Amino acid sequence: MNIGQASRTSGVSSKMIRYYEQIGLIKPALRTASSYRTYGDNDIHTLRFVRRARDLGFSVEQIKELLALWRDRARASSDVKAVALEHVAELERKIAAIQEMTKTLKHLASHCHGDDRPACPIIDEIANGAEIDRIDAVSARFGVASLK
């Protein structure tokens, strides 16, 4: 099947299929005499694997690791579990940081009059950054990227 058919069948866009080939996440497709990509059932199965892993929020590097483990029939399930639990910990750190951001924004919004006056604690906080600096410190503690 061609790239459009592979995209529809796997749920991975043509653009992402090309990108995954370019970065070496998936092997380059076979080519016809006229240079069109062709995909077989194994390619579609791999693309579906990648799509499901992306749907779970795994990074490209983690997906590379999972693909290698998937292909290795002698793998230890403990290796797969370790990748998954590392990802869970990362997600939990992000959740904690997002909860802190939500708490701060709710607090700021509750102190904003929301009327025709120009004074607004949300704008003041973004401009002055004391609360945002505190969130950045919390985010750093949880291993999440800075808001700045």
CB neighbour list of residue 110: distance below 8 Å, 6 or more residues apart: none
What is the structure's pLDDT at 131? Answer: 61
Q: Which candidate, 41, 32, 38, places its Cα nearest to that of 9? A: 41
Domain count, the chain: 2
Query: Within a domain: residue 50?
Result: yes
Q: Which candidate, 70, 68, 134, places its Cα nearest to that of 101? A: 134
CATH code (residue 26)? 1.10.1660.10
Last residue of a domain, one of 14, 39, 58: 58
d(CA 58, CA 87): 7
Q: Which candidate, 58, 68, 59, places its Cα nearest to that of 26? A: 68
For residue 92, the enclosing domain spans 87-141
Q: Tell me the two tokens of residue 34.
A: 């006229």
**94 and 133 fall within a common domain:** yes
- Residues 86-123 have pLDDT tens digits of 999 999 999 999 999 999 999 999 999 999 999 998 99
Query: Within a domain: residue 42?
Result: yes
